[in-house]
Structure 1
Amino acid sequence: MRLVLASASPARLSVLRGAGVEPVVRVSGVDERAVTASLPDPSPAEVVTTLARAKAEAVVDQVAAEFPEAVVVGCDSMLWAPGEQGDELVGKPETPELAAERWERMAGGTGQLLTGHAVLRLRDGAMIAGHSDHLATTVRFGRPSRAELDSYIATGEPMKVAGGFTLDGFGGWFITGVDGDPASVLGISLSLTRSLLSEVGVSVVSLWNHPDAVHDRAGGRSR
């Protein structure tokens, strides 16, 4: 049984590796705008869960022959935060200018980071079960100075991540707190993923690295 991560996110990969799982990474290439546009008047939760499922489903054919016994995990994160005309659901800012505008609105306030999760189970190369859900985590934003914000945007990081911020990168300097699951802000909630794995009949411990591998990795960190 292998866990396939349908995401190019380094943060999601790091979370899973830190929790004892070495995923197979397959990037979905899903057209997120097209998927979202196909939904009639969706709720924010429906958007992120539908995108997560679409990403997981998109890689099934790629991995079915290579890993006929597998679980595919797809995730999608977006921020529910103040916009020009009230709260809005936003993904990655496309330009430095948009990133700056969003940060100026978010500074000193809060936003809801919504992360959709989908787990699909493959047996003998065929999908036999799937479940999806989402998690909402409140993020409290600090007030970076203009110079700090300009420097942060110049790193290029805000344009690569949902909401234009990170918790584990440069952006972490400007986050004052998180109410909820911090791992969800990094892109994947271990708690919710474990629950969804259980729904498709897979115990998370069956996906953990061999104890010797975990011991060797821990020893490597301590040297």
Structure 2
Amino acid sequence: MRFVLASQSPARLAVLRAAGVEPVVRVSGVDEDAIAASLVDPTPDDLVTTLALAKAEAIASGSSGDEVVVGCDSMLLTSDGEVHGKPGTVDVARERWKRMAGTSGTLLTGHAVLRLRDGAEVGRAVGHEATLVRFGRPTEDELEAYLATGEPLNVAGAFTLDGLGGWFVDGIDGDPSSVIGISLPLTRRLLRRVGVAVSDIW
């Protein structure tokens, strides 16, 4: 049974490897913006789980083997009620950091697990994890140096916990692996719901 990670995120891959799993990585290439735009007034939880499921389904559709496919998607729900994905540009990342410095937000990560036998889906489970993140107040020089690294441009909420952004996170309340991109506890529970023990994939 292959464990397939439907994500190009090096952080998710690192979490799984540290936890004893060497997944096959397949990138879904789904149009996240188009999927989000097709939803009618979704809650933040619905948004991240729908995107995670779309990624897993895209990979599963091309499978012919005995696999577990896991898709994830993360977004930051800020204190003003807005949901943010990857900023994409320095200007957007700078503005987000100026607004969230000294505040807290909730990092939401949607998860979808599909169980396949001979390429046919025989089980699915979806869920999400929410973790409170308390942001520090980087100085202007620190923020500009961080932006110049490029790291915050391609990660949900314009920060990382396991990289350079960790210097500017004062603390979290919840699951650290979820903030990095894939919740180990939630993934274990979802695997169990499709009949797979986590020890089967170590």
Report the TM-score, using the length of structure 2 for normalisation.
Answer: 0.98
Whether 2:72 is the aligned partner of 1:78: answer no
Deviation of residue 53 (structure 1)? Answer: 0.2
Aligned pair count reads 202
Give the structure 2 partner of residue 143 of structure 1. 137
Which residue identity is paired with 1:94? G
Task: Give the fraction of aligned pairs with identical amino acids, expressed as a percent.
Answer: 65
Whether 2:82 is the aligned partner of 1:88: answer yes
What CA distance in whole angstroms lies between the structure 2 residues aligned with 1:154 and 1:161?
14
Cα displacement string for residues 187-208 of structure 1 (whole angstroms, at most 9, x for unaligned residues): 0000000000000011110000
Deviation of residue 108 (structure 1)? Answer: 0.7
Deviation of residue 154 (structure 1)? Answer: 0.3
Deviation of residue 87 (structure 1)? Answer: 2.0
Larger Rg: 1
Give the structure 1 partner of residue 190 of structure 2. 196
Give the structure 2 partner of residue 187 of structure 1. 181
Secondary structure of the residue aligned to 1:21 is coil
Task: Give the RMSD, CA atoms, in angstroms.
Answer: 0.8
Whether 2:167 is the aligned partner of 1:173: answer yes
Structure 1 residue runs of 5 or longer lacking an equivalent are: 209-223
What CA distance in whole angstroms lies between the structure 2 residues aligned with 1:128 and 1:115?
24
Whether 2:9 is the aligned partner of 1:2: answer no
Deviation of residue 61 (structure 1)? Answer: 2.8
Give the structure 2 partner of residue 43 of structure 1. 43
Which residue identity is paired with 2:153? M
Deviation of residue 124 (structure 1)? Answer: 1.6
Give the structure 1 partner of residue 122 of structure 2. 128
Give the structure 2 partner of residue 14 of structure 1. 14
What CA distance in whole angstroms lies between the structure 2 residues aligned with 1:87 and 1:199?
32
Which residue identity is paired with 1:17? R
Report the TM-score, using the length of structure 1 for normalisation.
Answer: 0.89
Secondary structure of the residue aligned to 2:82 is strand
Secondary structure of the residue aligned to 1:119 is strand
Give the structure 2 partner of residue 212 of structure 1. none
Q: State the 4+ residue runs in structure 1 displaced beyond 4 angstroms.
A: none
What CA distance in whole angstroms lies between the structure 1 residues aligned with 2:101 and 2:184?
28
What CA distance in whole angstroms lies between the structure 2 residues aligned with 1:194 and 1:203?
7
What CA distance in whole angstroms lies between the structure 2 residues aligned with 1:103 and 1:30?
27
What CA distance in whole angstroms lies between the structure 2 residues aligned with 1:51 and 1:125?
21
Give the structure 1 partner of residue 99 of structure 2. 105
What CA distance in whole angstroms lies between the structure 2 residues aligned with 1:130 and 1:48?
16
